């Protein structure tokens, strides 16, 4: 604590004492600030928490969806989990990173001892922390609405593998966009893609409702791959399936690889 005794400011020892902090300390500070800022932004809370929970509650309650053999909540929870991952790892991250780049934050941090790898690790950790919050809330709301997943605890590894792979795929796309486009263009494109993938990503209605040609395209996109994979595990009680894993892995490798090559820090 500093005590302010007189109008004169406290003495500062300005003599040089340079040195980098430990990576652990930098990582913790970076993660904490990224997470704080994400949860402070109203639009990101709307995007990552309120919209997924609202969609889950709304479509469960009004039951306009063809449920087939499942109840609608059993169909909806996996899709909304996929939407939640997309909103955090892709949309939210793309918009925030795009503006950080345009405001010179990434450039400025590049002049501190913070390594870029630690900066990215901090961003990733903040994304994962938000996803854990989303997962807990959505699962709780799902159970409250009568969700009855198949498979029990044995499905946890498959679900986590899908979520991690999905996070990698969406992060790659988000960073690719944020690192190459202007911030305003990223804002528009990230929201547009979010809406598109919400509609054709198998989130609130099955891909079988789409016309054939659109279905083929949709099945190659990461949102449908993630929601189908999660639905295979949680609603069908089977494995995640080959197609979802391959599609997500291809997007992850391509997105992260391209982002790493093209990202402009300022």
Partner 1 sequence: MAEILAVSVAGLVKTYSARSAPARSGSRRAGRQGLAPGPAASACGDQARPPSPGGRVRAVDNLSLSVPVGSVTALLGPNGAGKTTTVEICEGFRRADEGEVRVLGRDPIADAIALRPRVGVMLQAGGMYPGARAEEMLRLVAAHHRDPLDPTALLDRLDLVDSASTPFRRLSGGQQQRLSLAMAVVGRPELVFLDEPTAGLDVAGRRTTWELIEELRAAGVTVVLTTHAMDEAERLSDQVVIINHGRVVAAGSPAELTRGGAEGQLRFRAPVGLELGKLLLALPDGTTATEGPAGHYLVEGTVDPQLLAAVTAWCAGNGVLAEDLRVEQRTLEDVFVELTGSELRP
How many other C-beta atoms are found inside a 10 Å radius of the C-beta of residue 248? 25
Secondary structure of 115-152 in the HEC alphabet?
A: CHHHHHHHHHHHHHHHHHHHHHHHHHHHHHCCCCCCCH
Pick the binder of partner 1 from 35, 49, 55, 114 (CB under 8 A): 114
How many other C-beta atoms are found inside a 10 Å radius of the C-beta of residue 108? 12
In angstroms, what CA-CA distances link 206 with 4, 17, 168, 199? 64, 61, 24, 10
Q: Is 41 in the site for partner 1 (CB under 8 A)?
A: yes
Q: Is 99 in the site for partner 1 (CB under 8 A)?
A: yes
Interface pattern 197-236 for partner 1 (x via CB under 8 A): ----------------------------------------
Pick the binder of partner 1 from 5, 6, 17, 62 (CB under 8 A): 17
CB of 123 to partner 1, least distance (A): 12
Q: Is 2 in the site for partner 1 (CB under 8 A)?
A: yes
CB of 128 to partner 1, least distance (A): 19
In contact, 251 and 222? CB cutoff 8 Å: yes
Binding to partner 1, residues 46-65 (CB under 8 A) = none
| Centroid of chain to Cα 1 | 38
Q: Is 36 in the site for partner 1 (CB under 8 A)?
A: yes
Task: List all residues 6 or more positions away from 209 whose beta carbon is below 8 Å from its beta carbon.
Answer: 66
Q: Is 7 in the site for partner 1 (CB under 8 A)?
A: no
Q: Is 180 in the site for partner 1 (CB under 8 A)?
A: no
Q: Is 13 in the site for partner 1 (CB under 8 A)?
A: yes
**Whole-number Å distance between alpha carbons of 222 and 86:** 9
In angstroms, what CA-CA distances link 76 with 50, 183, 221? 15, 33, 18
Q: Which residues make up the interface to partner 1 (CB under 8 A)?
A: 1-2, 4, 9-10, 12-21, 25-26, 28-30, 33, 36-37, 40-41, 99-105, 107-108, 110-115, 182-183, 264, 266
């Amino acid at each position: 604590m500093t005590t302010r005794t007189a109008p004169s400011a406290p003495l500062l020892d300005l003599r040089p004492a340079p040195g980098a902090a430990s990576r652990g300390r930098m990582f913790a500070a970076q993660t904490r600030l990224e997470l704080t800022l994400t949860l402070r932004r109203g639009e990101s809370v709307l995007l990552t928490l309120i919209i997924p929970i609202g969609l889950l509650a709304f479509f469960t309650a009004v039951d306009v969806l063809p449920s087939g053999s499942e109840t609608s909540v059993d169909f909806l929870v996996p899709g909304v989990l996929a939407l939640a991952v997309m909103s955090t790892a892709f949309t939210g991250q793309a918009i925030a990173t795009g503006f950080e780049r345009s405001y010179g934050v990434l450039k400025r941090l590049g002049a501190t001892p913070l390594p870029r790898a630690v900066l990215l690790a901090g961003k990733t950790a903040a994304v994962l922390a938000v996803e854990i919050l989303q997962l807990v809330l959505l699962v709780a709301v799902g159970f409250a609405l009568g969700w009855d997943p198949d498979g029990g605890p044995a499905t946890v590894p498959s679900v986590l593998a899908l979520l991690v792979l999905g996070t990698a795929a969406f992060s790659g796309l988000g960073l690719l966009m944020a690192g190459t486009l202007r911030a305003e263009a990223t804002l528009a494109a990230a929201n547009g893609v979010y809406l598109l993938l919400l509609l054709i990503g198998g989130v609130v209605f099955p891909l079988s409702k789409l016309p054939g040609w659109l279905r083929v395209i949709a099945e190659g996109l990461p949102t449908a791959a993630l929601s189908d994979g999660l639905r295979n595990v949680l609603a069908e009680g089977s494995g995640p399936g080959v197609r979802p894993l391959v599609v997500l892995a291809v997007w992850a490798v391509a997105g992260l690889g391209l982002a790493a090559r093209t990202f402009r820090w300022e």
